[in-house]
């Protein structure tokens, strides 16, 4: 498992190094309907579904604990992403033709949709990859987000790569914790959930 994590991390670092290339970031033709139009809703519905699952499952089971870790990761990724957006001020492709318009009050860097979706799936992949290798198919969700956000001219290519890195690191951090940050202030640091009450 450690080798897979290391490989993913190195791959993301290498991909992010492309940020230094002037040719890497470029505007693509707008395609924001049909199949690609759902990229706005996937993270939102995923987070709501996970919150319902966490509430039902509680934090005592393996699934419940992983779900709470996933929610922690999603929250952490959004805090970090918003910090990047405010501090960098990069304009979105729909607002400029140049990927070099930093400090202009934009909110392109990094992609919150991509970081959030990556953060939500990472704890599940890390937890279940040895038992259920097909869990790696969950990576298709952040990849879809990456393509959708670029096609919507909402982000540059480097924005979505950086978002994936933020999401992965947030997911790795959350999965490494024994207690969910969202439940930390709950006495005993556990949440029973509806499943165990009925």
Per-residue pLDDT of the chain (198 residues; tens, 9 = 90+): 556 555 655 565 555 555 545 568 889 999 888 888 888 888 889 999 999 998 888 888 899 999 999 999 999 999 999 999 999 999 999 999 999 999 999 999 999 999 999 999 999 999 999 999 999 999 999 999 999 999 999 999 999 999 999 999 999 999 998 877 766 555 555 555 555 544
153 close to 94: Cβ distance less than 8 angstroms: yes
Taking alpha carbons only, the member of 75, 84, 15 closest to residue 50 is 75
173: tokens are: 């951090």
In this predicted structure, what is the pLDDT of residue 35? 84
In this predicted structure, what is the pLDDT of residue 182? 66
Q: Taking the domains of the chain in order of start, what are their residue ranges?
A: 43-184
In this predicted structure, what is the pLDDT of residue 59? 80
In this predicted structure, what is the pLDDT of residue 57? 87
- Using alpha carbons, list the distances in angstroms from residue 175 to 108, 124, 153, 160, 163: 27, 9, 32, 22, 18
* Rounded to 5°, angle at Cα 117 from 179 and 163: 100
In this predicted structure, what is the pLDDT of residue 198? 41
HSE-up of 175 (CA within 13 Å, CB side)?
20
In this predicted structure, what is the pLDDT of residue 190? 56
54: tokens are: 């966490």
In this predicted structure, what is the pLDDT of residue 32? 83
Convert 54-118 into a string of H (helix), E (strand) and C (coil).
Answer: HHHHCCCCHHHHHHHHHHHHHHHHHHHHHHHHHHHCCCCHHHCCCCCCCCCCCCCCCCHHHHHHH
In this predicted structure, what is the pLDDT of residue 111? 95
């Amino acid at each position: 498992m450690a080798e897979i994590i290391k490989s993913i991390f190195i791959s993301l670092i290498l991909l992010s190094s492309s940020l230094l290339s002037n040719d890497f970031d470029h505007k693509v033709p707008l395609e924001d309907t049909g199949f690609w139009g759902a990229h706005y809703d996937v993270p939102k519905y995923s987070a709501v579904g996970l919150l319902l699952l966490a509430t039902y499952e509680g934090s005592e089971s393996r699934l419940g604990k992983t779900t709470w870790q996933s929610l922690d990761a999603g929250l952490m990724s959004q805090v970090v992403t918003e910090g990047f957006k405010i501090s960098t001020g990069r304009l979105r492709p729909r607002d400029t033709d140049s990927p070099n318009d930093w400090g202009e009050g934009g909110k392109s860097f990094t992609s919150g949709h991509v970081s959030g979706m990556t953060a939500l799936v990472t704890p599940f992949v890390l937890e279940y990859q040895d038992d259920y290798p097909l869990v790696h198919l969950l990576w298709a969700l952040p990849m879809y987000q990456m393509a959708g956000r670029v096609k919507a001219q909402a982000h540059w290519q480097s924005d979505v790569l950086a978002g994936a890195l933020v999401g992965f690191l947030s997911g790795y951090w959350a999965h490494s914790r024994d207690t969910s940050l969202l439940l930390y202030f709950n006495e005993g640091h556990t949440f029973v959930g509806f499943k165990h009450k009925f």
